[in-house]
Chains A and B, each alone.
Chain A
Amino acid sequence: MKALVWHGKQDIRCDQVSDPGIEDPRDAIIKVTSCAICGSDLHLFHNFIPAMKNGDIMGHEMMGEVVEVGSEAKGKLKKGDRIVVPFTIICGQCDQCRRGNFSVCERSNRNKEMADKVYGHSTAGLFGYTHLTGGYPGGQAEYLRVPFADATHIKVPDNLTDEQVLFLGDIFPTGWQAAAHCDIEPTDTVAVWGCGPVGQMAIRSAILLGARQVVAIDCIPERLSMAQAGGAITINFETESVIERLNDLTSGKGPEKCIDAVGLESHVSMGQPDTLLDRAKQAVMMESDRPHVVREMIYVCRPGGIISIPGVYSGLVDKIPLGIAMNKGLSFRMGQTHVNRWTDDLLRRIEEGQIDPSFVITHTARLEDGPEMYKMFRDKQDSCIKVVLKP
Chain B
Amino acid sequence: MNMLMKSSRSPGDPRVISTGPGTLASPDQLARGLGWFSIGLGMLELFGAHRVARTLGLEGSEWMIRACGAREIGSGVACLSVNPAPGVAARIAGDALDIATLAVAAQQDDPRRGNAQLALLAVLGITVLDVICHQGLTARHARQPGPGRDYRDRSGFPKGLAHARNAQV
| Docked-complex contact A221 and B164, CB < 8 angstroms | no
| Docked-complex contact A20 and B14, CB < 8 angstroms | yes
Asked whether any CB of chain B lies closer than 8 Å to the CB of A207, the reply is: yes
| Docked-complex contact A230 and B159, CB < 8 angstroms | no
Contacts of B78 in A (CB 8 A): 283
Q: Which residue of A has the minimal Cβ distance to B15?
A: A18
In the bound complex, CA of A111 to CA of B18 (Å) = 27
| Docked-complex contact B159 and A221, CB < 8 angstroms | no
In the bound complex, CA of A5 to CA of B20 (Å) = 9
| Docked-complex contact B143 and A379, CB < 8 angstroms | yes
In the bound complex, CA of A15 to CA of B21 (Å) = 8
Q: How many A-B residue pairs have CB under 8 A?
A: 175
Report how many residues on chain A are interfacial, defined by Cβ distance under 8 Å. 73
Q: A7-B22, A51-B4 are in contact. Are A137 and B14 (CB under 8 A)?
A: yes
Q: A46-B82, A283-B77 are in contact. Are A354 and B16 (CB under 8 A)?
A: no
In the bound complex, CA of A114 to CA of B4 (Å) = 8
In the bound complex, CA of A57 to CA of B11 (Å) = 15
Asked whether any CB of chain A lies closer than 8 Å to the CB of B28, the reply is: yes
Asked whether any CB of chain B lies closer than 8 Å to the CB of A302, the reply is: no
| Docked-complex contact A1 and B14, CB < 8 angstroms | yes
Asked whether any CB of chain A lies closer than 8 Å to the CB of B12, the reply is: yes
B-side interface size class: 35 or more
Tell which of A151-159, A304-312, A324-332, A355-363 binds the partner: A355-363
Contacts of A221 in B (CB 8 A): 147-148
Q: Beyond the given A19-B14, A362-B151, could you list 9 further A-B residue pairs with CB under 8 A, ordered by the A residue number?
A: A11-B24, A13-B20, A51-B7, A53-B7, A222-B151, A349-B167, A360-B156, A380-B143, A383-B149
Asked whether any CB of chain B lies closer than 8 Å to the CB of A374, the reply is: yes
| Docked-complex contact A11 and B10, CB < 8 angstroms | no
Asked whether any CB of chain A lies closer than 8 Å to the CB of B13, the reply is: yes
Asked whether any CB of chain B lies closer than 8 Å to the CB of A317, the reply is: no
In the bound complex, CA of A23 to CA of B11 (Å) = 9
| Docked-complex contact A354 and B159, CB < 8 angstroms | yes
Q: Which residue of B has the minimal Cβ distance to A371?
A: B23
